[in-house]
A = this chain, B = another copy of it.
């Protein structure tokens, strides 16, 4: 067993809680090359971070993330803070020789993302690793989908159909939380959930979006100011209103090369859809369908089955031979949302231990950022827009 991997985490809201559950669990479920230690939690409010550290299981806490850089007992910095601080923290951490796991979207702008890629690239030379946290890649059904596509199970890809539907701000009285302010969040549905379906469809198909045509809409243009910005669940109690400066919904068409076409939609106004990440890929030999609200299932249609028996097969992705699942329970015993983070932690720890680069890399995340940027520009100009390629 090698030395323990000592983790520091910045941020302790929704994402911080999910990552903490992963760090607490990963040692005990997987046979890791290095044990994980939850060393220190960082946050802006000294009081709040102290409480969070206790609750979430971190040994220490600090209200200044810069102190983490100098500590010898921190090997990895896990960034769960809002997007506007990703670049600064990640670049500093990498420069300090700390491995970095950074939540998606990588940054609030392409420029920031580029500087993060440069930092990661520089650090890589000295064995420092950087990874972006697109956790949905680690849903076993999604990993299986990728594998089946790579194995040719659906043949030549024709169509990508992706939507990420939520409804948490349908109520116009829902307050103006940070996720609805462009200066903090960068964008609305686009960066928050649209980023996931861009990454996920590129991941499973092995293709990139090359050109997009988008529209965005903000249905509710002003909202009550929140008393405090406590994440998704904050309730407004103020009579003051502020402008919503991000998109409530984004819709776009895409080309993915070689004639592959796609429709994409991300919205927070699809009443009744709670975390409706839905992806369908049609190929010349079959189709695969994933819906996060039934995350333990993958639908598969194969033209190679006997003609009279063809149909959509609901694969319950809980068999020990399915990706990530040998560590968990017997078949039919479901796993949940948080497990995606445990799988992510597993893959990251193993990559670090083995001296390999974890994926998605910062460069992968920059490419997603370039897609989001093209989408945003397309929506502004009402024109088909090419996705920039990094040289």
Chain A contacts to B: CB under 8 angstroms: 14, 18, 20-21, 24-25, 27-29, 31, 55-57, 144, 148, 153-154, 158-159, 161, 163, 165-168, 170, 213-215, 217, 219, 232-233, 249, 251-253, 255, 259, 261-263, 265, 267, 269-276, 280, 282-287, 292-298, 300-303, 305, 307-316, 318-322, 329-339, 382-384
Contact = CB atoms under 8 A, between A and B. Distances in A.
Contacts of A253: 213-215, 251-253
Given A161-B265, A269-B159, A284-B170, A315 B310 contact: yes
Contacts of A165: 282
A272 B259 contact: no
Contacts of A275: 330-333
Contact of A255 (B215, B285, B330): B215
Contact of A25 (B25, B215, B285, B314): B25
Nearest to A147: B308
Given A28-B20, A313-B309, A332 B274 contact: yes
A337 B335 CA distance: 6
A330 B261 contact: no
Contact of A261 (B217, B255, B272, B305): B217
Contacts of A154: 271
